[in-house]
Structure 1
């Protein structure tokens, strides 16, 4: 019985601390005192700042480059739209 109580208590503590760490506090990110930023990526001449490391690369979120259709239009014939073979 003591073992199950200990497990239950530890699970409650872990879940409680997990909720506190995800409180949504927003502030400028800085490296810990006395700790440097990660080393620069291979081939890059300068050290990226914390803001540079948090920017989403273009490949991860590309911009839309085509216009959406504003009205219904007939589709062109697709030569690769073939019926399934048996």
Structure 2
């Protein structure tokens, strides 16, 4: 049983030894140029944050009880 768990334990230890430091560009490379109209150069951590349009906030309230649907003028039968 120990022989079966040894590789698993090794993988778990290997997965837990990641570096925890700030990201920096490779030597000889620069960060991308600042976006048009920006007043400062973005850092590596700022470049990793998704823009608001990529992950918008939810603005729809969930229904708590059954309600009658409003008439939809675009819900037309198929033409044919």
Pick aligned residue for 2:48 from 45, 54, 70: 54
More helix by share: 1
Using structure 2 for the length normalisation, give the TM-score: 0.62
Deviation at 1:43, TM superposition (A): 2.3
Q: How many residues in Structure 1 have an aligned counterpart in Structure 2?
A: 64
If asked which structure has higher relative contact order (CA below 8 Å, sep 6+), I would say: 2
**Ranges in structure 1 where 5+ consecutive residues have no aligned partner:** 1-22
Q: 2-side partners of 1:68 and 1:41: how far apart? A: 37
Residue 40 of structure 1 corresponds to which residue in structure 2? 34
Structure 2 equivalent of residue 85 of structure 1: 79
RMSD: 2.3
Structure 1 residues 50 and 77: alpha-carbon distance in aligned structure 2, compared to 1, 3 A threshold:
same
How far apart in 1 are the matches of 2:19 and 2:73? Answer: 53
Per-residue CA deviation, residues 27-52 of structure 1 (Å, 9 max, x unaligned), is 32111234332222232221110011
